[in-house]
Structure 1
Amino acid sequence: MPLSLTKRGLMLLMRAIGFFIGLFGIAARAFDFPLRHCGSRITQPTSEPLLLLSGVQLAKLIRRRKVKCIDVINTYIDRIKEVNPMINAIVKDRFEAAQQEALAVDKRLSEEQEDEATLEKKWPFLGVPLTVKEAFELHGMPNSSGLVNRRNVVSKSDAIVVALLKQAGAIPLGVTNCSELCMWYESSNNVYGRTNNPYDVQCIVGGSSGGEGCALAAACSVIGVGSDIGGSIRMPAFFNGIFGHKPTSGVVSNEGQFPVAMGAQEEFQCTGPMCRYAEDVEPMLRVMAGPGVHKLKLDKKVPAQKIKFYWMEHDGGSLLVSRVDEELLQAQKKVVRHLETVLGASVQHVKLRQMKYSYQIWVTMMSTKNHDGMETVKLQELLGDHGKPVWPLWELMKWVLGMSTHTFPSIGLGLLEPVLKYDSQTCAKYEELRHLQCPGLACDSVPTWPE
Structure 2
Amino acid sequence: MSNSWTTLVADKLQRQRQSIPPGWEISVPPNDVLDVTSVAKDCGSLSRQELKITGIEDVEELLHKLASGELSSVSVTMAFYKRAIIAHQLTNCLTEIFVERALHRAAELDEYLQTTGQTVGALHGLPISLKDQISMEGLETIMGYVSGIGKYSEHDAVLVQILYDCGAVPFVRTNVPQTIMWAETLNNIFGRTTNPYNRSLTSGGSSGGEAALIALKGSILGVGSDIGGSVRSPAAFCGIYGLRPSYGRVPYEGTPNSFEGQDSVLSVLGPMSRSLSGIKVFMKAIADSKPWQKDPLAVRKPWNEEEYNLLEHGHGKELCFGIIWADGVVVPHPPILRALKQTKSALVAAGHKVIDWVPINHLEMNTLIRAIWGSGAFEDITVATSASGEPLLTSTSLLPDSDGQTPHPFKGAQTSAYKLWQLHKRKRELRKEYLDLWEKTIEVTETGRPIDAIIAPVAPYAAPPHGMNKISNYTRIWSLLDYPALALPVTKVNPAIDLKAPPHQFLCDLDKEHYDLYDPNVFVNAPVAVQLVGRTLEEEALIGIGEVVDAALRAIPTPV
TM-score bin, normalised by smaller chain: 0.7 to 0.9
Distance across 2 between alignment mates of 1:314 and 1:416: 30
Deviations 1:66-104 (A, max 9, x none): 112211111112212323112111111111111111222
Could you tell me the TM-score, scaled by structure 2's length? Answer: 0.63
Report whether the alignment pairs 1:311 with 2:323.
Answer: yes
Structure 1's 391 and 420: CA in aligned 2 closer, same or farther, altered over 3 A?
farther
What corresponds to 1:108 in structure 2?
112
1:78 is matched with: 82
Supply the RMSD in Å over aligned alpha carbons. 3.2
Aligned to 2:414: 418
In structure 1, which of residues 232, 237, 240 is the aligned counterpart of residue 238 of structure 2? 240
Structure 2 counterpart of 1:450, one-letter code: P
Query: Which amino acid is 2:231 matched to?
Result: I
Q: Which amino acid is 1:360 matched to?
A: T
Change beyond 3 A, Cα 1:174–1:284: same
Map of 1:52 onto structure 2: 55
- Which of 431, 439, 442 is matched with 1:434 structurally? 431
Aligned to 2:214: 216
TM-score under structure 1 length normalisation: 0.77
Which residue in 1 is equivalent to 2:342? 334
Question: 1:304 offset after TM fit, Å?
Answer: 2.1
Which structure carries more helix by proportion?
A: 1
Task: For 2:405 and 2:240, locate their aligned partners in 1 and report how far apart those are by CA, in whole Å.
Answer: 28
How far did residue 353 of structure 1 move? 4.1
Percent of matched pairs sharing the same residue: 23
Q: Are the equivalent residues in 2 in contact too, given 1:272–1:288 (CA < 8 A)?
A: no
C-alpha separation between the residues in 1 aligned to 2:265 and 2:285? 21
2:95 matches 1:91: yes
Match of 1:445 among 428, 435, 452: 452
Report 1:3-402 matches (<5 A): 35-37=30-32, 41-43=35-37, 44-46=39-41, 48-53=51-56, 54-114=58-118, 119=119, 122-259=120-257, 261-289=259-287, 290-291=289-290, 292=299, 294=301, 297-300=304-307, 301-302=309-310, 303-305=315-317, 307-316=319-328, 318=329, 321=330, 323-342=331-350, 344-367=351-374, 378-385=377-384
Which SS does the other structure have where 2:202 is aligned? coil
User: For the structure 1 residues 111 and 366, does the alpha-carbon distance in structure 2 shift closer, same or farther, using more than 3 Å as the test?
Assistant: same
Letter of the 2:157 partner, please give it. Answer: A
The separation in 2 between residues aligned to 1:77 and 1:388, in whole angstroms, is 34
Q: CA–CA distance in 2 between the matches of 1:309 and 1:233?
A: 23
**Alpha-carbon distance in structure 2 between the residues aligned to 1:408 and 1:98:** 44
Deviations 1:293-322 (A, max 9, x none): 626534432122364321111111x2xx4x
SS of the counterpart of 1:172? strand
Q: 1:378 and 1:132, CA in 2 relative to 1: closer, same or farther beyond 3 A?
A: same
Residue type of the partner of 1:364? A
- Matched residues in 2 for 1:333 and 1:85: separation? 37
Match of 1:9 in 2: none
Q: Distance in 1 between matches of 2:388 and 2:55?
A: 47
Matched residues in 1 for 2:86 and 2:260: separation?
A: 40
User: For 2:34 and 2:324, how far apart are their aligned partners in 1?
Assistant: 38
Higher relative contact order (CA 8 A, sep 6+): 2
Note closer, same or farther for the CA distance 1:391–1:436 as it changes in structure 2 (3 Å cut).
farther
CA shift at 1:436, angstroms? 2.7
Offset, 1:433: 3.3
Q: Tell me, which stretches of 5 or more residues in structure 2 are unaligned?
A: 1-28, 42-47, 291-298, 395-399, 442-448, 459-560
